[in-house]
Amino acid sequence: MSQRTPVIAGNWKMFKTIEDARAFAAAFDADAKNSVDPEVVICPPFTALNALKEAFAGTRVQLGGQNLHWMDEGAYTGEISPVMLRDAGATHVIIGHSERREYFHETDGTVNRKVAAALQWQLTPIVCVGETLEDREVQLTDNVIIVQTQRALLNIAPELVATCLFAYEPVWAIGTGKTCAPEEANRVAGVIRDTIARMVGQDVADQVRILYGGSVKPETIASQMAQPHIDGALVGGASLDPKSFAAIVNYKAAAAR
């Protein structure tokens, strides 16, 4: 059995004002707010981070950014640095989400620089990897996953790799209502773990937590979490509603009923 503590992370994308974020925090279930297993991370827009830091003070909810720049500061109009993310209350940061790769031209190279910068500032990276439908149709899934994983972790010290979170997010499953079959998500999470093991050793690879993301819902979470390589979920749409996100966080209690 894995000793890895599961993590449920919510990715709010470009949704919610400060007022909406406060309303979410007020409505979020007390058990979910204080959950130790799984750990809970919410990644709101930058503008709502500080308000949520206050709203969740005294709870176990951790906060994350959805992106960062790799420099500490500088003339980079529109960017947010790791120092600023820490300052606003973040402990985590999503890096290389497929929407950033697709719409904002992020490359494996910038993902790697961002991972290094996040780790330097003790921000836990949530590194996203995943294949498109075209990749899958021509049997390139494993190649894409291996290359994205290797390039994200280039020159990162093994003890820091151990602290990273990975998210396997098949692009065709994001926001589409199509979840990846749990056995297949587990197989690909295993490819990520094997790739990490080849780079920095099996001991480190066994510590890395790998989340599944792509249309995760209260009805599908338990079957994903039952898979040996899947240590959590990165949840988009279903994290926007406090009831559905709490139902996902409380998946063990729901399964016991």
Tell whether residue 7 is a contact of ligand PGA (CB under 6 A). no
| Residue whose CB is less far from ligand PGA, 42 or 204 | 42
| Residue whose CB is less far from ligand PGA, 35 or 220 | 220
Least gap, CB of 157 to ligand PGA (angstroms): 27
**Number of residues lying near ligand PGA (CB under 6 A):** 13
Least gap, CB of 215 to ligand PGA (angstroms): 4
**Which residue among 39, 97, 131, 229 is the active-site one?**
97
Annotated catalytic residue 105: no
Region of residue 25 (phi > 0: left; psi between -120 and 50: alpha; otherwise: beta): alpha
Annotated catalytic residue 97: yes
114 within 8 A of 68, measured Cβ to Cβ = yes
| Residue whose CB is less far from ligand PGA, 70 or 212 | 212
Q: Which residue from 179, 167, 166 is spatially nearest to 237, judged by alpha carbons?
A: 179
- CA 162 to CA 239: how far, in whole Å? 26
Enumerate the H helices of 153-241 as residue ranges: 158-161, 182-200, 202-207, 221-225
- CA 208 to CA 229: how far, in whole Å? 10
- State which of positions 89-128 bind ligand PGA (CB under 6 A): none
| Residue whose CB is less far from ligand PGA, 21 or 204 | 21
Core vs surface per residue 73-83: b (16+ CB within 10 A) or e: eeeeeeebbbb
| Residue whose CB is less far from ligand PGA, 99 or 196 | 99
Q: Out of 63, 234, 247, 248, name the contact with ligand PGA by CB under 6 A.
A: 234
**Which residue among 39, 92, 169, 229 is the active-site one?**
169
Instruction: Determine how β-strand 62-65 pairs with β-strand 92-95.
Output: parallel
x/- map, 171-190, ligand PGA, by CB under 6 A:
---xx---------------
- State which of positions 192-221 bind ligand PGA (CB under 6 A): 213-216
Give backbone dihedrals phi and psi of 125, rounded to 5 degrees, phi first.
-75, 140
49 within 8 A of 57, measured Cβ to Cβ = no
- CA 20 to CA 113: how far, in whole Å? 32
Stretch that binds ligand PGA, among 135-143, 196-204, 234-242, 249-257 (CB under 6 A): 234-242
- CA 66 to CA 13: how far, in whole Å? 7
Q: Out of 171, 210, 235, 246, name the contact with ligand PGA by CB under 6 A.
A: 235
Which residues here bind ligand PGA, judged by CB under 6 A? 11, 169, 174-175, 213-216, 234-238
